[in-house]
Amino acid sequence: MASLYFLMTRWREKVRSSTPLHVSLAEISAVVGFLSSLIYLISFFGIAYVQSFISSDDVATDLDINTFLKPSPSTSITRPPLLLEQEGDRAAVVPLSERDQEIVSSVVSGRTPSHALESLLGDARRAARVRREALGRVTGRPLDGLPLDRFDYDSILGQCCEMPVGYVQLPVGVAGPLVLDGRAYYVPMATTEGCLVASTNRGCKAIGMSGGAASVVLGDGMTRAPVVKFETAKRATELKFFLEDPENFEMLASAFNRSSRFARLQAIKCSLAGRNLYMRFRCSTGDAMGMNMVSKGVQNVLDYLQTDFPDMDVVSISGNFCSDKKPAAVNWIEGRGKSVVCEAIIKEDIVKEVLKTTVQALVELNIVKNLTGSAVAGSLGGLMLMPAMS
């Protein structure tokens, strides 16, 4: 702008004084500056103009994605209930039917129990759709990010999960091969813990390169321990002697085994605490953990015992003498589930090549961490264990 003002002023003076329009060096510099400014302005506004078209599409896309992934709680209650259905790789938003919307309102108001939707509708997947929409209305936070389709809800009905509203996807890695007892196994691992599969795979590699591992199953028996009480300790003792009498075992096993094709009673061990009697039933469960089948078998025996011990009061189907899902000395001593011993001898050169350490350093770490460190922490059995539920 300064260059333009300078040129206009100079040329105006020349016109007034009838001076020839010769261009001086200063005026040439002003012309160049003016042209440079003009080019810069044109390029700046031109790029901004074009960028507005490009960025508007990106922003619109981002808004669409954010609206789908993170809907506003304030609008989630008033918007029409929509659910995501998939056909192949194509996704389509399908509204709930008027009948299902009425059921959703009934669940929200408390007139229809959420747990009764499967029996009411006769369709497990439809029940999950209605339940998740009702939950979204109550909490103000729709479950749009939780997958619903491509899952067989009938397969879990009455089996392993009640009142489903969707499912969660987990990545599954594979470690191996693990050479065990002369056979190679690939181990699938569903986890979101980084380095877990890689570390396990490295251990499998070291074992395989050293000739594999050997295993022996020492025991196989799942436990459940109900607790009952009597008016007197004497009556509790009488039941203890009855259960531990070998002559009564076949009769008790027959009652226990009748509710399952796989559960087979192995032994009963009792522990008395005053008037309370804890009965630890141990049985085989096939390939399953089998807590449900064990509990049903225990209930059969308790029903049978009520005939000869009508004064027996069942406090709980589990008295924690089992002991389920927690570290306990009884499990360390008696065992629970499968008790297994495994052996693998890793060669020194493989320790260096695969595990990136030395035998001496590994032995020292085992003593300092797994033995001494665990003893300092008071770990069960003085060892470092990582229990897992399955």
7-41 residue pLDDT tens:
567 666 666 665 665 666 666 776 667 677 767 66
pLDDT band at 45 (very low <50, low <70, confident <90, very high): low
46-62 residue pLDDT tens:
544 444 443 444 433 33
Q: Is residue 61 included in any domain, yes or no?
A: yes
> How many domains in the chain?
4
pLDDT reported for residue 16: 67
178-214 residue pLDDT tens:
999 999 999 999 999 999 999 999 999 999 999 999 9
Q: Are 280 and 223 in contact (CB under 8 A)?
A: yes
Q: Are 174 and 197 in contact (CB under 8 A)?
A: yes
134-166 residue pLDDT tens:
999 999 998 989 999 999 999 999 888 999 999
**Domain span including residue 131:** 75-155
Q: Is residue 130 included in any domain, yes or no?
A: yes
Q: Are residues 295 and 374 in the same domain?
A: no
Q: Are residues 149 and 252 in the same domain?
A: no
pLDDT reported for residue 98: 92
Domain boundary among 104, 124, 155: 155
pLDDT reported for residue 58: 40
pLDDT reported for residue 20: 63
Collapsed DSSP state (helix, strand, coil) of residue 50: helix
Q: Are residues 325 and 363 in the same domain?
A: no
Q: Which residue reads 């061990």 in tokens?
A: 269
358-382 residue pLDDT tens:
999 999 999 999 889 988 988 876 5
Q: Is residue 22 included in any domain, yes or no?
A: yes
Q: Is residue 48 included in any domain, yes or no?
A: yes
Structure-block tokens of residue 270: 């009792």
Q: Is residue 120 included in any domain, yes or no?
A: yes
pLDDT reported for residue 27: 67
CA 162 – CA 15 distance, rounded (Å) = 96
Q: Is residue 344 included in any domain, yes or no?
A: no
pLDDT reported for residue 35: 72
Q: Are residues 248 and 313 in the same domain?
A: yes
CA 74 – CA 77 distance, rounded (Å) = 7
pLDDT reported for residue 68: 31
pLDDT reported for residue 66: 36
Domain of 300, CATH number, reads 3.30.70.420
Determine what percent of the chain is predicted with pLDDT higher than 90: 62
Q: Is residue 197 included in any domain, yes or no?
A: no
Q: Is residue 343 included in any domain, yes or no?
A: no
Q: Are residues 81 and 134 in the same domain?
A: yes
